[in-house]
Amino acid sequence: MNASQSSESEPRPPVVDGGWVRPSTVWPAEPRWGLAEGIQVGLSPIPGPRGLVRIFTPYLGQPQSRLLNFLAFEPIPSGATERGYSELEHSSWDLEPGKRFWSAETIDAGPAPSEHPVRGTIDEVDGVERLSLYVHSEPFDNGARVAVRIEFRADRPHEFSIETYRLPGSVPLDAFVVTATMGNFARLRRLQLLDEIVTPSTIWPHFDGEHFAARRRFALDRLRRTPTGGVTVAVSSDEPDPVSAVYHSSVADHWRYVGLPAVQSWEAEDPDPAIAASVNGRRVYWASESPIPGGDAFENVELIEPFRQGRRFVFRVEPLETSA
């Protein structure tokens, strides 16, 4: 370990290093990485459920502590019908909710306290500076052992790539889904497909439950293509000014949207013929009976594809007025 130890129990805030945000060299340190003027990611003990990667977008005019979304790891073993759930499963190490995540410089790194984060590796390719790190998870109850590599590019301040890996000792995988889990915060209701926009009301016209609406998949022939032959799926709010929404008095403050509206999207090059976009939805906010203003909204948004070692996906958040 190359960081010094602090006697303070409160994690040190991240530091700006050139154009990057990186953890402090003094532990305990807040595990947060990204572009100083762009998108950033973080891990527990930053507030929020464990077993999730936090996504921050301060360029939308949000406070530094306000996150936009979470990413969960949901591996599917070969032949299984059920996923693993990094947020919902309990840790086998301390029996608390949520699998434990930690950062590393390499794919073969062993467990480490999350408050002892690595700083990430800075390098340069074709004249563009990059920051990268690995995020490992403890083993899943279904036998999956996985990690991801996250990479930021200085010339693409509103996106990061995430590569998915199955580690030695893991069961074989049919898929390793990385899902964006908190679309209800931004009240995402417009799903852009190849030649149409679909909404929760068109997918689930009679949904009135207090849990998740059933997942809906859209196969390759329904997805938009990139100029290089990849696929992309984008979601956004149907509200021109989500900050002005009128909330029921029971809605907690952390569900009340702040910042500019934005388009959130997934992209993947060289798609497998079986790739699909998948969404579910909710009528009330997670872990509550508080209604979402304006009705149902998409909650989980993902691309799902047969597993490939090192498969690369891109997650992007663009302010609505500048998005394509």
Domain range spanning residue 150?
14-181
311: amino acid identity, one letter: R
Same structural domain, 29 and 112: yes
Q: Is residue 249 part of a domain?
A: yes
Q: Is residue 9 part of a domain?
A: no
Q: Is residue 305 part of a domain?
A: yes
Q: Is residue 57 part of a domain?
A: yes
Same structural domain, 173 and 187: no
Same structural domain, 70 and 189: no
Same structural domain, 254 and 163: no
Show the low-confidence residues of the chain (pLDDT under 70).
1-8, 322-324
Number of domains the chain is built from: 2
**What is the predicted pLDDT for the residue at 4?**
58
Same structural domain, 147 and 210: no
Same structural domain, 187 and 106: no
Q: Is residue 4 part of a domain?
A: no
**What is the predicted pLDDT for the residue at 6?**
53
Whether 54 contacts 66, CB under 8 Å: no
Q: CA nearest 71: which of 162, 175, 174, 188?
A: 162
Cis upstream peptide for 45 (omega within 30°): yes
**What is the predicted pLDDT for the residue at 324?**
43
Long-range contacts of 282-286 (CB under 8 A, 24+ apart): 282/184, 282/211, 282/212, 282/213, 283/207, 283/208, 283/209, 283/210, 283/213, 284/210, 285/184, 285/251, 285/252, 285/255, 286/182, 286/184
Q: Is residue 160 part of a domain?
A: yes
- Classify the phi-psi angles of 34: left when phi > 0, otherwise alpha if psi is within -120 to 50, otherwise beta: left
For residue 187, what are the β-bridge partners? none
**What is the predicted pLDDT for the residue at 3?**
57
Same structural domain, 131 and 239: no
Point out the domain boundary residue: 164, 181, 198. Answer: 181
Q: Is residue 208 part of a domain?
A: yes
> Could you tell me the end-to-end alpha-carbon distance of the chain, in angstroms, rounded to an integer?
43
Instruction: Say what the pTM is.
Output: 0.95
Same structural domain, 287 and 150: no
Same structural domain, 88 and 104: yes
Q: Is residue 6 part of a domain?
A: no
Same structural domain, 191 and 99: no
Same structural domain, 191 and 273: yes
Same structural domain, 195 and 122: no
Point out the domain boundary residue: 181, 206, 225. Answer: 181
Characterize the bridge pairing of strands 26-27 and 4-5.
parallel
Reduce the secondary structure of the chain to three states and give it as a string.
CCCEECCCCCCECCEEECCEEECCCEECECCEEEECCCCEEECCCCCCCCCEEEEECHHHCCCCCCEEEEEEEEEEECCCCCCCCCCCCECCCCCCECCCEEEECCCCCCCCCCCCCCCCEEEEECCEEEEEEEEEECCCCCCCCEEEEEEEECCCCCEEEEEEEECCCCCCEEEEEEEECCHHHHCEEEEECCCCEECHHHHCCCCCCCCEEEEEEEEHHHCEECCCCCEEEEEEECCCCHHHCCCCCCCCHHHCCCCCCEEEEEEECCCCCCCEEEEEEECECCCCCCECCCCCEEEEEEEECCCCCCEEEEEEEEEHHHCC
Point out the domain boundary residue: 181, 208, 238. Answer: 181
